[in-house]
Amino acid sequence: MGLPARGRTIMGDSAAQILIHNLPKYVQRGLFYRMLDHAALQQHVHTVEDSVVLRDMLPLMGLVAFVGNGAILPRYFVGHHCGNTWYITYGTSHICPLGTQGKWG
C-alpha cells in the first residue's frame, strides 16, 4: 500500500487517517459476505466455475482456446476453420462464423 509522503518522508497524520479510519471501512465493505450483493457474488462464482469446466474441456476437443460470441478482442486476429478464413479486427465484436460454433452439451 502506498502511503502519502513528501519526498522520502511519510506524512504521519495522513497515513494514520488511511490506516486507522479508511482502510477498515474498505475491508468491511469489500471482504465481508454480509456486506456484498449475494446474487451478484453467486453469479460470479457460477461464471468462474463454468470457465474452469470449459477450459478443462478444451484439450479433449483438440482446442487451445475459446472466444465467446460478443467478446471484444484486444488485437487483430486472423483465424482458419475448415478451409474458411475469417478476420476479426480491433474493437469489433466477435461472432462465430456460421457452422463453426461448438456444441456445448
Q: How many residues does the chain have?
A: 105
In the predicted model, what is the mean pLDDT of the chain?
78
Is residue 105 domain-resident? Answer: yes
The structural domain count of the chain equals 1
pLDDT of 100 higher than 70: no
Whole-model pTM? 0.49
Is residue 82 domain-resident? Answer: yes
pLDDT tens by residue, 12-37: 999 899 999 899 998 988 888 888 99
DSSP, collapsed to helix, strand or coil, labels residue 21 as helix
pLDDT of 88 higher than 90: no
Is residue 80 domain-resident? Answer: yes
Determine the residue type at 93: S
Is residue 23 domain-resident? Answer: no
Determine the residue type at 30: G
Q: Which domain holds residue 88?
A: 67-105
Cell of 73: 478482442
Is residue 37 domain-resident? Answer: no
pLDDT at 92: 60
Do the beta carbons of residue 58 and residue 32 sit within 8 Å?
no
62-86 average pLDDT score: 63
Which residues have CB under 8 Å from 88's CB, separation 6+?
73, 76, 77, 78, 79, 94
